[in-house]
Amino acid sequence: MIGSMKRETVEDREIFVYLPPSYGEGDGRYPVVYLQDGGYLAEDSLNLLEHQFVIGELPELIFVGIPTENRNAEYTPWPAKALVSRFADFPGEGDRYLAFLVERLKPHIDASYRTLSGPPHTGIAGASLGALISLYGWYRYPEVFGRIISLSASFWYEGFVDFVKEQPLPSEAAKVYMYVGDLEGVYKDNIQQHMVPATHEIYQTLLDKGLGPEQLAFHLGEEATHDTVFFLQQFPEALAWLFQGQDEAASVQMEELA
């Protein structure tokens, strides 16, 4: 059994949508994970993910991949100076991007597909700057996103650690999966060298603010650099941890919708 993939245009963006193997067999509804950077985390992991579906390690999911033409703009929460003088400063257009995702894209997906629309069934995921905007999206829209995947997030970003420390916990019911490689930033001579300690600091802050081990997972990759190969290794594990028990939860919501 294999799922189906399609492309559709939403406000000039070619969105990637993956529907799981059983989607066409009945009237069941499915959790949805919104993915940064066009959805490569799911596309490049589909063989393994579908195997997990078949053997019951992971409930079937809908994936929505969202492309960006300027990740330095859309994946940054506020303006900041460039890391290197020859590059432009970070524009910080994350709020506008998240508004598109929440106010226009998600309603379209919920209207077009059989989704489970509540926060326990709605994930947001990304790596690097994509992970930064994913965690920021939880802070801005905790009533929308209840499952967050943050892989090698750019928590070095100016002001972000302080932002997390100053803000109240968005939701005590959410689940957050964090990952960083222990070698990330070691070859940098700018603020990116603080990537690992910044991740540890945010993890500890979330613990201190009330997320327990059932809501917050953290994995430190041994001898792992800031590289896609490690992001892809972590993605299926993150999904399995976040969405365990979703079959039972989906049955409850289906009864409520009936």
Residue 235's pLDDT is 98
| pLDDT confidence bin for 249, thresholds 50/70/90 | very low
Q: What's the average model confidence in pLDDT over 200-213?
A: 97
Residue 164's pLDDT is 98
Residue 251's pLDDT is 43
Q: Whole-angstrom distance between the N-terminal and C-terminal Cα of the chain?
A: 28
Residue 1's pLDDT is 66
Q: What's the average model confidence in pLDDT over 194-219?
A: 97
Residue among 239, 129, 148, 123 at smallest CA distance from 195:
129
Amino acid at position 46, single letter: L
Q: What is the pLDDT of residues 5-27, one digit of tens each?
A: 999 999 999 999 999 999 999 89
> By percentage, how much of the chain surpasses pLDDT 90?
89
Report the 10 Å Cβ neighbour count for 166: 9
Query: What does pTM read for this prediction?
Result: 0.94
Q: Where are the domains of the chain?
A: 4-257
Scanning the chain, the segments in alpha helix (DSSP H) are: 40-43, 46-55, 71-74, 94-100, 106-112, 129-140, 160-166, 195-208, 228-243, 246-257
Q: What is the pLDDT of residues 54-99, one digit of tens each?
A: 999 999 999 999 999 999 999 999 999 999 888 899 999 999 999 9
Q: Which CATH architecture has domain 4-257?
A: 3-Layer(aba) Sandwich (3.40)
Quote the tokens at residue 177.
Answer: 């999966």
Question: CA-to-CA distance for 43 and 65, rounded, in angstroms?
Answer: 9
Mean of the per-residue pLDDT values of the chain: 93
Question: CA-to-CA distance for 70 and 194, rounded, in angstroms?
Answer: 24
Residue 187's pLDDT is 87
Residue among 153, 226, 232 at smallest CA distance from 184:
226
Higher per-residue confidence, 85 vs 32: 32
| pLDDT confidence bin for 134, thresholds 50/70/90 | very high
Q: List, in order, residues 6 or more apart from 89 with CB less than 8 Å away.
A: 79, 80, 81, 82
Question: How many CA within 13 A on the CB side of residue 232?
Answer: 13
Residue 248's pLDDT is 47
